[in-house]
Amino acid sequence: MTIFIGADHRGLELKNQIIEYLHEKDIRIEDLGAYEYNSEDDYPDFAKKVAQAVLQNPDNHLGIVICGSGVGVTICANRFKGIRCALGFDEKQIIHARENDHINVLALASDYTDFEKAKNLVDSFLNSYCKNEEKYLRRIKKLDE
């Protein structure tokens, strides 16, 4: 499993903290930028890279996208067929979204999520699994039509 992560300038610090945290847990993570603070960068550039990377092997790739509100990266990632991105704000919400809605990209709002909360959201995302019951699969199929 590879986790791809990307963030704009507002999410840069949180992204770097998450990368370090996941490295400590021996989780394979690939940083798709931003690599340095640039107040003129644009969140779609990073969300797009993450979405495209996840789609290269959706059975073995997940993504994390970060911007100030989390909304912009969520909208951008969800423009790609096969990406199901949810803005995380609660651990139970993320577990539910992963299990029932088969999210494959987690969006975080750096302006409203401290590192401790982000760790819990990321752990919930990575430690939950998609349910393969007929009703969930049917719903996912409808999303892709």
Q: Flag whether the pTM goes above 0.85.
A: yes
Which pLDDT score is estimated for 127? 97
Which pLDDT score is estimated for 144? 81
Q: Where are the domains of the chain?
A: 2-144
CATH class, range 2-144: alpha beta
SS3 42: coil
* Long-range pairs for 90-98: beta carbons < 8 A, 24 or more residues apart: 90/121, 91/120, 91/121, 91/123, 91/124, 92/124, 94/121, 94/124, 94/125, 94/128, 95/124, 95/128, 98/124, 98/125, 98/128, 98/129, 98/130
- Bridge partners, 3 (sequence order): 29, 62
Which pLDDT score is estimated for 145? 82
Which pLDDT score is estimated for 143? 86
- Averaged over successive runs of 10 residues, the pLDDT of the chain (145 residues) comes to 97 98 97 97 98 97 98 98 97 97 97 98 97 90 86
